[in-house]
């Protein structure tokens, strides 16, 4: 298997430069929003800012990123070698380690700017850690860092869009192999296990999820794979994704028919769904709102009489997490900008019978939108 991460000296240089730029932009956004520092624990935000994918341990790891001044990374002493082996070392970022008998929360608070009164903690920080930091600095007000960092993360650089394009191509290859695994007589769970192995084999570091929903289970958008046996003519919704070695996510849904003729009324509403998804993808361009993308497809589905069967938003942003800003949903008046990337995944679900969904990742370009998934959206009937 080929590691798709950055590995050459030139690539490492570009990666260091990009992380340094992200740190600077995060500091500028912190100043703009009036917080004295960002406190960032292991998760997508820390990886985005520094390139360090720290393990989410009970021991505190925390980036202290002041609005003005030099950032520092607080780590348990036993994790210091891993931190220094990451892109953190190339950033020249000071790593402050703590021993088992030390109080890491007091240490972290001591690194805040003098006179700090407000900090933003990352949205995924464990509550126990946020509370311990609050207790160590009762004079400092906490708020969520999401409103600060999402302004950066939802506007992808060309390098990030390229990474999402590679992730999309990798998950496309998995869908192209669906005929190897999905057939009557196998259980959803068996098919899902093969797909998970295929996700890794086709270039991901890990498989993150795999919905294999057959027959009546296809009417549940987030159905978990079960021991139900796939039957001839079953409609099967397959929603799959993983994370690549570059740290970016894939997510794509296709609907299949497993060996046989689908239910008589299925073709009619699948055609409606296909039209809606196509119209939504064509609508994407700079300046239109996120909610308008939802409205375009929803209007087509409502006009065909299936409005009450489209039960979820049209899509979600994607990047270092499968679900992040921006969300494509009614009420989100955010105007799309080049570099934003999100799923377009309308669905129609008939409870107790069957359902369908079509999902592509779309990146906003200077003049329109680019689908990052290329497998056919036409209904695919697999051989028995």
Q: What pLDDT digit, counting tens, does each position of 308-343 carry?
A: 999 999 999 999 999 999 999 999 999 999 999 999
The interaxial angle of helices 9-33 and 146-153, nearest 10 deg, is 140
Predicted local distance difference test score (pLDDT) of residue 3 = 32
Residues 260 and 290 in one domain: yes
Residue 15 has pLDDT above 90, yes or no: no
- Write the CB contacts of 158 (distance below 8 Å, at least 6 apart in sequence): 339
Neighbours of 280 (CB within 10 A): 27
User: Do the beta carbons of residue 95 and residue 75 sit within 8 Å?
Assistant: yes
**Mean pLDDT of the 178-195 span:** 98
- For residue 239, what are its two tokens? 């929603």
- Domain coverage including residue 114: 9-153
Residues 201 and 336 in one domain: yes
Predicted local distance difference test score (pLDDT) of residue 383 = 83
Number of helices (H), then strands (E), in the chain: 11, 17
**Mean pLDDT of the 97-102 span:** 97
Residues 69 and 110 in one domain: yes
Round to whole Å and give the CA distance between 87 and 50: 7
Residues 186 and 230 in one domain: yes
Residues 168 and 65 in one domain: no
Neighbours of 77 (CB within 10 A): 12
19-43 tens-digit pLDDT: 999 999 999 999 999 999 999 999 9
User: In this structure, what are the phi and psi dihedrals at residue 287, rounded to the nearest 5 degrees?
Assistant: 100, -25
On whether residue 144 sits in a domain, the answer given is: yes
Residues 292 and 184 in one domain: yes
Residues 311 and 163 in one domain: yes
46 versus 9: which is more confidently predicted? 46
Q: How many structural domains comprise the chain?
A: 2
Give whole-number Cα distances, 293 to 54, 215, 308, 331, in Å. 36, 29, 18, 11
- For residue 329, what are its two tokens? 């949903």
On whether residue 4 sits in a domain, the answer given is: no
Out of 103, 122, 153, a domain closes at 153
278-315 tens-digit pLDDT: 999 999 999 999 999 999 999 999 999 999 999 999 99
């Amino acid at each position: 298997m080929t590691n798709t991460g950055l590995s050459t000296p030139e690539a490492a240089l570009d990666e260091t430069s990009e992380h340094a730029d992200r740190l600077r932009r995060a500091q500028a956004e912190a100043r703009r929003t009036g917080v004295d520092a960002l406190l960032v624990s292991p998760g997508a935000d820390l990886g985005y800012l520094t390139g360090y994918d720290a393990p989410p341990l009970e021991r505190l790891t925390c980036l202290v990123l002041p609005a003005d001044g030099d950032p520092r990374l607080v780590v348990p002493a036993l994790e210091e070698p891993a931190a220094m082996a990451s892109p953190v070392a190339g950033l020249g970022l000071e790593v402050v380690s703590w021993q088992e008998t030390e109080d890491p929360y007091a240490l972290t608070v001591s690194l805040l700017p003098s006179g700090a009164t407000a900090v933003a903690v990352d949205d995924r920080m464990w509550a126990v850690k946020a509370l311990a930091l609050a207790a160590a600095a009762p004079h400092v007000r906490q708020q969520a860092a999401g409103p600060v960092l999402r302004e950066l993360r939802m506007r992808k650089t060309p390098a990030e869009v390229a990474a999402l394009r590679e992730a999309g191509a990798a998950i496309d290859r998995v869908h192209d192999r669906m005929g190897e695994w999905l057939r009557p007589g196998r259980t959803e769970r068996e098919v899902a296990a093969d797909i998970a192995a295929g996700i890794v084999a086709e270039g991901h570091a890990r498989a993150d999820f795999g919905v294999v929903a057959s027959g009546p289970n296809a009417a549940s958008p987030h159905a978990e794979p079960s021991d139900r046996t796939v039957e001839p003519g079953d409609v099967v919704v397959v929603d799959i994704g993983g994370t690549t070695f570059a740290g970016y996510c894939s997510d794509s849904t296709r609907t299949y028919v497993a060996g046989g003729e689908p239910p008589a009324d299925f073709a009619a509403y699948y055609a409606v769904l296909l039209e809606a998804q196509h119209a939504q993808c064509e609508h994407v361009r700079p300046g239109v709102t996120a909610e308008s993308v939802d409205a375009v497809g929803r209007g087509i589905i409502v006009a065909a009489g299936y409005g009450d069967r489209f039960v979820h938003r049209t899509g979600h942003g994607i990047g270092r997490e499968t679900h992040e800003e921006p969300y494509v949903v009614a009420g989100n008046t955010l105007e799309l900008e080049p570099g934003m990337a999100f799923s377009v995944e309308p669905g129609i679900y008939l409870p107790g019978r069957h359902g369908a969904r079509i999902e592509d990742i779309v990146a906003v370009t200077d003049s329109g939108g680019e689908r990052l998934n290329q497998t056919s959206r036409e209904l695919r009937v697999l051989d028995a």
